Amino acid sequence: MNTKSPHIILEGSKEYKLGELKGNEIVYDFNEILTYLNAKGKLLFGTGFKIVIEDRDVLFKLCNYFIKDEANCKKLDIDIHKGILLTGPVGCGKTSLMKLLRHIVPHQKAYKLIPSRNIVFGFNHVGYKTIEDYGSTNYFCFDDLGVEPIGRHYGKDCNVMGEILLSRYELFLEQKVKTHATSNLNAQELEERYGNRVRSRMRELFNLIAFDSESYDKRK
């Protein structure tokens, strides 16, 4: 990361300018960000990756959130202090975008992207310490939230991700620690999965950004 020029990102020998530095503030250019994301996506996911025009609205919201453009976020009804819950059909690109977008703001605290099912497998192995571990002040993005199995440790069932979300909610209230997530489920399905209490906390934890339900599977 170039601390003197945080608006310029170096990938190998190529520079990507995401905007202009005016005083201590970066004035970002959305089209320049898309150019960089397209290039970085190819480096991370292979040459078949591309930003598609159908995703432009979702990307505009996500980019404004990550660069903390308060004026645009206010217009888009996005709270920059909350996390992101990115929802949409299987294969529409949720995980890839959450892996990718953190690279446009290398000067911000990074989050770890963890598959929810892996967290449950960890719980099955070591028990409630897993829930404590994810109740830390680290930033996380829980991938594929809502389709993980129920946890089971020493014969006792536990809705592991539901418990973790409650812990993350407390952290958000006390220390403004952010949590992100991706999910194939809609709000009603998430409520059925986790219950009304967790769902109401999720409304306070997350900004909901959704792909169109007709978004196609980009993995095909």
19 inside domain = no
32 inside domain = no
The answer to whether the predicted template modeling score (pTM) of the entire model surpasses 0.85 is yes
52 inside domain = no
113 inside domain = yes
Residue 24's pLDDT is 82
Residue 134, domain extent: 75-210
Residue 220's pLDDT is 67
Q: What is the mean pLDDT of each run of 10 residues along the chain (220 residues)?
A: 73 92 89 96 94 94 96 97 95 93 92 97 95 93 96 93 96 96 92 93 96 76
Residue 12's pLDDT is 86
10 Å CB burial of residue 37 (0-12, 13-18, 19+) is: buried
The CATH number covering residue 98 comes to: 3.40.50.300
Count of the separate structural domains present in the chain: 1
60 inside domain = no
